[in-house]
Structure 1
Amino acid sequence: MSGSGIRFDRVSVAYDGNTVLHALDLTVEPGEVMALLGPSGSGKTTALRAVAGFVRPASGRVFIGGTDVTGLPPHRRGIGMVVQQYALFPHLRVKDNVAFGLRAQKAAKAEIPGRVAEALEMTGMGAYAERYPRELSGGQQQRVAIARALAIRPGVLLLDEPLSALDAQLRSGMLAELARLHRELPDVSILYVTHDQVEALTLADRIAVMDRARLQDCGTPQELYRTPRTEFTASFVGNANLLPVTAGAGAALLGGAELKVDTGGVAPGATATLCVRPHLVGLGDGPNALTGRVSEVQWRGATHRLYVDVAGERIKADVRELRTPPGIGDQVTVHFAPEDAVLLTAAVSEGAAASRRAGVAADG
């Protein structure tokens, strides 16, 4: 079969009575990169394996390119897959590793050399066709694994933590390569499993945030980063200050300080959480100024991370590198702009994911 796009129709998976994926409703559009982001045990890899056909849902259906593939074996789903440990055959040369899927699909022998060369050139590995995996670096082996997945010209590409075994420098380079491949393969749907927020923010058109076997939220990287709707999303997609406050009339109360924020119709007196990103917190006087004492200072190269204790809460501020940073115990003032803060309520935290899931399901 062939086709692009993935749809989970209330897919649940259970092992020995333990639900590891609960009623997942999610659509990956043709040509879209969807990242499944979440901690270990959140259900993201199980969701990918359900698409691949390696696990059978206890309930619900999986569609690829509009076709119900729930009952099809993996080799009939027309997908390419890359896993974190490469899974290359050590006794086969690079060209034969890449050809493996084509031979398994019984592609015409005359077509195989050209398809292999095409996939290797696409991943920058054309000069390594005659080498064995042991003669390659980790990054090169991962490129070969991607070439093998692309050689079958899949409509859907599944990537399961593909960069986790690489060091930081190689990971950065491979992120750029994957972004380039996405541009060159505009019709291929990509489902990308990761626990690394940088990978998700860099590559994905949309991010599905998962926790405890459930889809918690879904949106574009910009939506989830700039205007998170749940505390879990705010803390897992990027770094955030999450401060318990009481809503006022167009303001939030933290200790004795009144902070001007968009309350979004939150009733005065309601308890809420104020979310503001550390890089949006400035040092010195400004709007929404708060005075506290420095409890920790971390040098991070281009920035200093300051931890400032205010009204019993710790606020993180990432400020440009300071020639003379404040010391521990020093009194400082930090501030942030009203438009840079988001107010989260308990009702939003519980209901936002459901409303967004309904929208995602409707799109499908």
Structure 2
Amino acid sequence: MSSGIRFDRVSVAYGGNTVLDSLDLTVEPGEVMALLGPSGSGKTTALRAVAGFVRPASGRVLIGDRDVTDLPPYRRGIGMVVQQYALFPHMRVEDNVAFGLKAQKVAKGEIRGRVAEALEMTGMAAYARRYPRELSGGQQQRVAIARALAIRPGVLLLDEPLSALDAQLRSGMLAELARLHRELPEVSILYVTHDQVEALTLADRIAVMDKARLQDVGTPQELYRAPRTEFTASFVGNANLLPVTVAADGVSFGGVELKVDTGGATRGASATLCVRPHLVGLGAGPNQVVGTVSEIQWRGATHRLYIDVDGHRVMADVRELREPPGHGESVTVYFAPEDAVLLAAGVTDG
């Protein structure tokens, strides 16, 4: 049976230091919600509050319609996977996966089938008799996921589960987690990460955290294409954040009038213009500005140009150039009016 998660104004403090401040957030049944933010933002504390490892100073945690704030972890019906796997080294894979079932006093005859099912689901059926030391990092993480799934939780908590893996393994595990979610649509997943690619790839919605508070929440597309704050714009993908002044038909940047949707902002007001680097083109076009190349990076399929425009850095990701401009060369770049988002200056908190 599917269960959602509800943070009802949850705050957590250690020694007078607030590490989670009045979090009000709902994870819908069957949804993957990523908690995305830098170290110290409160995202892991939020997850631990759901798991029952920290007690909120105020507020409530609900799983489904149950208030679990005062329940011990083993009575919450959750599965959890952490970044360092936490497998028992002296136990074979099958015994690691069975551990939670035995703790729940599931009948012996049922445990074997549930373990086999979880290992099959994670592609680890052939490794049931091995010890963790005989597995790669990626395989150990699959076992940890199988152990969490074996208890058939309504809620699955993932705490930076891929951070200990190298880039290639991480990419493969992302695909595996996405597949698992398709096969287990009734399980609500709370996924803690500081990696924007993981969040954009896996999540139905992303909650952006910073300084113990929720800053923004929305679908990956919403947060990427139309962020509400400068922090969200800079943390969910790369962004050009340009200081502008609202004008009659758009904004003024470096003495150049640019046509963008101002959303009714007051003329003369200071604001920030957000434009993603891959939406900045090289050459003449709408909303063009002229600057000087300060740096150029080859990234395989693209070149990233860093361009100084009136003392402000503009990034442009353009298709690989046979003859890229040189350092100090003057170039013209442009962007379409619909590809820019105007943010109120100084707005960093949701």
Partner of 1:300: 299
Change (3 A) 1:164 1:350: closer
Structure 1 unpaired stretches of 5+? 354-364
Please give the residue correspondences for 1:121-140 in structure 2 after superposition, counting only pairs within 5 Å. 121-140=120-139
Cα deviation, residue 250, structure 1:
2.3
Partner of 1:338: 337
Query: Which string of whole-angstrom CA distances, capped at 9 and with x for unpartnered residues, describes residues 74-129 of structure 1?
Result: 00000000000000000000000000000001101110000000000000000000
SS of the residue corresponding to residue 119 of structure 2 reads helix
Query: What CA distance in whole angstroms lies between the structure 2 residues aligned with 1:167 and 1:3?
Result: 33
Contact 1:274/1:343 (8 A) holds in 2: yes
Is 1:286 paired with 2:285?
yes
Contact 2:2/2:188 (8 A) holds in 1: no
Query: What CA distance in whole angstroms lies between the structure 1 residues aligned with 2:134 and 2:249?
Result: 63
Query: What CA distance in whole angstroms lies between the structure 2 residues aligned with 1:192 and 1:346?
Result: 31
SS of the residue corresponding to residue 286 of structure 2 reads coil
Query: What CA distance in whole angstroms lies between the structure 2 residues aligned with 1:255 and 1:239?
Result: 21
Partner of 1:182: 181
Partner of 1:217: 216
Cα deviation, residue 312, structure 1:
1.1
Structure 2 unpaired stretches of 5+? none
The residue type equivalent to 1:132 in the other structure is Y
Query: What CA distance in whole angstroms lies between the structure 2 residues aligned with 1:14 and 1:164?
Result: 26
Query: Which string of whole-angstrom CA distances, capped at 9 and with x for unpartnered residues, describes residues 168-204 of structure 1?
Result: 0000000000000000000000000000000000000
Query: What CA distance in whole angstroms lies between the structure 1 residues aligned with 2:160 and 2:95?
Result: 24
Please give the residue correspondences for 1:184-333 in structure 2 after superposition, counting only pairs within 5 Å. 184-333=183-332
Query: What CA distance in whole angstroms lies between the structure 2 residues aligned with 1:61 and 1:189?
Result: 18
Query: What CA distance in whole angstroms lies between the structure 2 residues aligned with 1:350 and 1:156?
Result: 31
Partner of 2:148: 149
Contact 2:215/2:348 (8 A) holds in 1: no
The residue type equivalent to 1:52 in the other structure is A
Partner of 2:76: 77
SS of the residue corresponding to residue 278 of structure 2 reads helix
SS of the residue corresponding to residue 172 of structure 1 reads helix
Query: What CA distance in whole angstroms lies between the structure 1 residues aligned with 2:2 and 2:24?
Result: 20
TM-score (norm 2): 0.99
Change (3 A) 1:305 1:143: same
Partner of 1:360: none
The residue type equivalent to 2:39 in the other structure is S
The residue type equivalent to 1:14 in the other structure is A
TM-score (norm 1): 0.95
The residue type equivalent to 2:113 in the other structure is G
The residue type equivalent to 2:191 in the other structure is Y
Query: What CA distance in whole angstroms lies between the structure 1 residues aligned with 2:278 and 2:25?
Result: 32
The residue type equivalent to 2:232 in the other structure is T
Partner of 1:108: 107
Query: What CA distance in whole angstroms lies between the structure 1 residues aligned with 2:348 and 2:138?
Result: 41
Cα deviation, residue 3, structure 1:
5.1
Moved over 3 A (4+): none
Contact 1:84/1:164 (8 A) holds in 2: yes
RMSD of the TM alignment (CA)?
0.9
Query: What CA distance in whole angstroms lies between the structure 2 residues aligned with 1:11 and 1:241?
Result: 34
SS of the residue corresponding to residue 110 of structure 1 reads helix
Cα deviation, residue 311, structure 1:
1.1
SS of the residue corresponding to residue 169 of structure 1 reads helix
Query: What CA distance in whole angstroms lies between the structure 2 residues aligned with 1:291 and 1:248?
Result: 20
Aligned pair count?
350
Cα deviation, residue 350, structure 1:
5.4
SS of the residue corresponding to residue 187 of structure 1 reads coil
SS of the residue corresponding to residue 111 of structure 1 reads helix
